[in-house]
Structure formats: C-alpha cells, structure tokens
Amino acid sequence: MKIIPFITLTKFKQINARGVFIKMFVLTIGLILFINILISGMTKDMNATFEAFVKTLVLVAFVGIGRLLVANIFKESELKKQEGLLNQKLKSLNEELEEKITERTKEFADSKIRSETLLENLTLGVIEYDENFMILRVNRTAELFLGVERKAILNKYIKPKDKKVKELSSFATVLYPALSEKGRKVNAREELEKNISKNEITITFPQKRELQIITVPIKDMQTSKNPRFVKLLRDITHEKMVEHSKSEFVKIAAHQLRTPLSGTKWALRTILDKDIGDISEKQEDILQKTYESNESLIDIVNDLLNVTHVEENFGYHMIENDIVESIRYAILSSLLLAKEKKLEILFKKVVSDIKPFLFDKIKITLALKNIVGNAIDYTQDSGKITIWLKQEGANALIEIVDTGRGVPKEEQNAIFDKFYRAKDTIETSSDRSGLGLTISKEIIQKHGGSISLRSEEGEGTIVQVRLPLQR
C-alpha cells in the first residue's frame, strides 16, 4: 500500500528538477547575450561578438543536451528500480493471496466432506428435490428404505404415475404422500405456520414399513421463494407395532371390564328401583353413590375403547353434515354438568352460513363434547363458556372460550397426552380419565384438522378446532 505514494513523490521531484533546469538554461543564454552585447559596444566589433555568441550558444546547447540525457538516464534507472520494487511487492501479495485461497478451498472441501459424511450416516432418510420434483440428492438410508439406487434417479423427474412402477412405487409415494392408501397427515399449528408438513404412510417395497415423512421447504434468501425441498424419512414401524399392541391390550381389557360393570349397574338399578323389595334411606344413599361410581368406571372403559377406535380409524363415516348441529348437541349433552356448577354456555356464530361438509357427525360431536366437558372442569362456579363458530379461509374454526383458572404454561404441551390431567384438576375432579382431549385430538386429526390451546393462568382458556371444509 506504500508503493503508490512513493512513485508519486518521485515523479513530482523529477518534474520540479526539469523545470528548474529549463529556467537556468534560458537565464544562462540571456546572460551570455547581455555580456556579448556589452563587449561589442566596447570593442565595436559586431562580427566577432556574434561569432563568439554563436560558439557560446552551441556550447551551452551541448551542455544542456548532455544534462538532459543524464537526467533521462537517471530517470529510467529510478523507474526500473521502482518497477522492481513494485513487482516484488505484487509477487509477495500474489503469493499471500494464493496461500489464503488454497487454505479457504481446503477448509471448504473439508467442510463439504464432513457434511456429506454426516448426511450419509444419518439414520434418517434424506431426499432433496426441486419444485419440479427433479431429484438432487438421496442419502444411503433413503436408498435402503425405498429400495432404489441413487444413480438411477439422481437428476431425474419423479411423477405420480411412477407409483405404478414397482421399483419406484415407494419413492413416488414418499414424494406424493396423498398417493398412499394407508396414510394420514399430521399437522401441528406451528408446523402449518412454517409450511412444514408431516405425514405417516405405509410402503410395501422393498418391504413393508411405516414411515414418518417431514417435508421442509428451503427458501432462496434473495427471492424468498422455495426452489428446493427436503424430505426427512423416519422408520416408525417398531413404534407402530408397540402402539398397536398397547391398543389391543387396552381394547381387550376394556371389553372384559365392561361386561361385569354392566352387570353391576343392572343389579344396583334393580335394587334402587325397589323391584325386589324396599330399602332404607341410608341403604339407598349408599347404593346411589355406588351406582354413580360404577357409572364413572363405565365412562372410563368407554373412553378407553374410544381411544383405540379413533386411533385405528375404526368406524369413520364421512358424509356431508351440518357442523352447527354437532355443536348444539355437544352443548345439550353438557348442560347437566354446567347447571351443577351454575355455568352459562353460549353459542355464537360469526358467519351467517357454513354449508354442510364431509365429517363423521358422531365422532366430531364426541370430540366437541369432550372439549366442552374439559372447559366445565376448568371453570369455577358461576363462570361462562362461549363457543364461537367462524370461517377461516378453507377451514371451519370452532373456538371454545372459558373464564376458568387457565392451564399453567409448563403443562400446556402435555394437555393432549393420554391420561394427562392438570394438577389442580386432580385435586378438584377425580372422575375424569384424562383421555377426553386425547380422543378429541385423534378424531380431529383423522379429519385432516388441527386442535390448539392458548391459556393464561387466572384468565381462562381458548381451545381452537380447525376442520377443512373440503377434502
């Protein structure tokens, strides 16, 4: 960086010296001319004076030319010297730059090798493709899951019709999950906001597997478009087998329990109705409490059976129904519990009309009834529960708003888990199985919808249910 100022300063000195020399040369000629005129005036010999002047002028000219030649030689020498220094500096800078470029290239290559190694050894299958479904990358696990060789599909377009090709059937199903005959979409609210989709599908080639597929868009930072997508594949076959075994155990146990409970209910009802004789007031009170406890046990058994049914897609009848009727029936079936706590239940429609759409009326009514029942449990006496019906884009939005005590933030993520009950609810209500919201969530997701919860302690809770108007 110091070379350019040095050259500029040197050039300035050379230009300044040349100007001084010219001035001195002209001044010398003038002085010689003045002296010769003065001498000629004294000697009156003009010819001799002119001759002397010419000789002197020639001499001075030779001396001046000599000086100029010497100056040029000096200038060329200095320029060559400066050129040599500049070349040396440039060479040093080039070597330093080459060294840095080599180092950065090596770092980039090492980083790429590490990334490729990590990608190849992931237990998750990874598929990268563009917006036209041209395959850009496939890792080893995806090859194993889907029975394909990457060299056969890289830089090739995969279309829905490829599902008919045995070797590509599983690969096409992963890219187009809607093609799966046994599949379901799982969408949490936060995933929808980030355009991340999650599906569970079953493939049969090269062997039967249950796969969970997460699709993530990769945005271009400059255009904010999604020119590429990544699918992450996770084998959940073992998880599904364990889950199925648990469901089967619960189903069998529940069926075995329901028979004796039903017999106990019949016997108690017969005694309470005094069909076999009179009973005392004290006996009636004890038997009534026993009957109510038996009813609670039957409700728990029914909840267990409902969980297994909804998880296995058992008995879903998708026909066009009116969602308003389901909401009103869920409210009607909850009025008795609400009256016991002096709660007010209101139903408000924001939209004038939502046309009938495909859903299972019995299942959706059950889901809404469980949510309203949960709101009743969490709301103190003389509180209020409001149910709103709105339309949000292509979804029907049902909001159940209560003025209860709210759900603590640390418990909100687990509120839809099986057998989960909030701590304060355990203390105040002992007849709930902790399966109601789990059943509701399963039913709603089976309909392609979503359920979410917002709550503040002491300010109540809002449960939002979204159901697609078109399937």
Instruction: Give which of 143, 174, 142, 147 is closest to 158, Cα–Cα.
Output: 174
What secondary structure letter does DSSP report for 454?
E
Q: Which residues pair with 39 in a beta bridge?
A: none
Whether 41 has a pLDDT exceeding 80, the answer reads: no
> Looking at domain 319-468, does it have CATH number 3.30.565.10?
yes
Of the ranges 74-78, 104-108, 421-425, which is most confident?
A: 104-108
Over 50: is that where the pLDDT of 390 sits?
yes
pLDDT digits (tens, 9 = 90+) for 261-270: 889 999 999 9
pLDDT confidence of 169, banded at 50, 70, 90?
A: very high
Contact 261, 301 (CB under 8 A): yes
Retrieve residue 419's tokens.
């057998």
Q: What pLDDT, on the 0 to 100 scale, is given for residue 117?
A: 85
Strand (E) or helix (H) holding 184: strand 183-186
Q: Which CATH class is domain 125-235?
A: alpha beta
- Reply yes or no on whether the pLDDT at 47 is more than 90: no
Looking at the DSSP assignment, which residues form a beta bridge with residue 257? none
Q: DSSP characters for 218-268?
A: E--TTT----EEEEEEEE-HHHHHHHHHHHHHHHHHHHHHHHHHHHHHHHH
Check residue 211 and give its pLDDT: 94
Integer Cα distance of 443 and 416 in angstroms? 12
| Angle (CA) 40 44 45, round 5° | 75
pLDDT level of residue 385 (50, 70, 90 thresholds): very high
Q: What is the DSSP string of 116-151?
A: HHHHHT-SSEEEEEETT-BEEEE-HHHHHHHT--HH
Average pLDDT, the chain: 81
Mean pLDDT of 140-152: 93
**Better-scored residue on pLDDT, 312 or 436:** 436
Answer with the residue of higher pLDDT: 213 or 295: 213
pLDDT, greater one: 120 or 62: 120
CA distance 158 to 160: 7
pLDDT at 396: 94
Mean pLDDT of the 377-402 span: 92
pLDDT of residue 248: 79
- Tokens matching residue 441: 């969530």
Put simply, whether the predicted model's pTM sits higher than 0.85 gets the answer: no
Residue 4 pLDDT: 40
Q: What 8-state DSSP symbol labels residue 457?
A: T
Length of the chain equals 471
The domain ranges of the chain are 3-118, 125-235, 241-311, 319-468
458: three-class secondary structure by DSSP: coil
- pLDDT above 90 covers a percentage of the chain that reads 35
**For the chain, first and last CA: distance in Å?**
70
What is the arithmetic mean of pLDDT over 46-57? 60
- Is 137 a residue whose pLDDT tops 80? yes
For the segment 291-326, what is each residue's pLDDT rounded down to a tens digit? 888 888 888 888 777 777 776 666 678 899 999 999
d(CA 352, CA 420): 37
